[in-house]
Amino acid sequence: MRDSKQFWDKSAKRYAKSPIKDEATYQKKLAITREYVTPESRVLEFGCGTGSTALLHAPYVKQIIATDISDKMIEIAQQKAADTGINNVSFQQGTLDSLNLEHGIFDAVLGLNVLHLLEDVDGTIKQVQQLLKPGGVFVSSTALVGQLNVLFHCLIPALQLLGMAPFVARLTKTQLIDSLTTAGFSIEREWQPNRDSVFIVAKKK
């Protein structure tokens, strides 16, 4: 966990400058997410990075708590919020374990490009389930590392040894959907913008 924080702290400035790889896909994910929120929604985003997505959703919801393990990411996010004058997003450093978040109060939880970076994916999905209101949604976007080809499977450990890649869970789409349904979610929407990632909206039953 400490290694992960160090990795993302070191990456924060570069991450903030990196452009969105596929703007059309990003816009479609924003639009789908907005179908599931209202101006009364309370939203939690974990692994929010430098906060761009939380700030884009802010005008459409009541309140967002956006969190990240990296305080360097959070510093950049807070500066962006100050620059844009958006005041219904509260950026907080921490993980779902360390932040004492109230259960059963969120209409939507967002975990975007983060589940595959966690050592306990099933545990995190259960925590998300507890944080949501009944009928609330978990919106996730996840790299399917378990479905990458052999070359990547050899490359990842080498990059990790050099400190150039973080921990990654070798998830497949089937495993992810099994974890969500086992935790008590129904799958509302499932979209694979490409072979290696999946965008899922899952509803708490």
Ligand X SMILES: C[S@@+](CC[C@H](N)C(=O)[O-])C[C@H]1O[C@@H](n2cnc3c(N)ncnc32)[C@H](O)[C@@H]1O
Give the residues lining the site for ligand X (CB under 6 A): 4, 8, 46-49, 68-70, 73, 95, 112-114, 117-118
Minimum CB distance to ligand X smaller for 76 or for 183: 76
**Min dist. Cβ of residue 103 to ligand X (A):** 18
Tokens coding 5: 């924080």
Q: What is the side-by-side order of every strand in the sheet holding 132-143?
A: 89-93, 63-68, 42-46, 106-112, 132-143, 197-204, 185-194
**Min dist. Cβ of residue 205 to ligand X (A):** 25
Minimum CB distance to ligand X smaller for 48 or for 58: 48
Minimum CB distance to ligand X smaller for 3 or for 35: 3
Residue 122, Cα to own-chain centre: how many angstroms? 14
**Min dist. Cβ of residue 112 to ligand X (A):** 4
Minimum CB distance to ligand X smaller for 117 or for 139: 117
Tokens coding 161: 């040894």
**Min dist. Cβ of residue 69 to ligand X (A):** 4
* Cα gap 69→121, rounded to integer Å: 15
Which residue is at the shortest CB distance from ligand X?
A: 49
**Min dist. Cβ of residue 140 to ligand X (A):** 10
Instruction: Specify whether the CB–CB gap between 123 and 153 falls below 8 A.
Output: no
DSSP conformational letter for 29:
H
Place of tokens 């962006």: 80
Minimum CB distance to ligand X smaller for 46 or for 138: 46
Place of tokens 């974990």: 46
* Cα gap 202→186, rounded to integer Å: 5
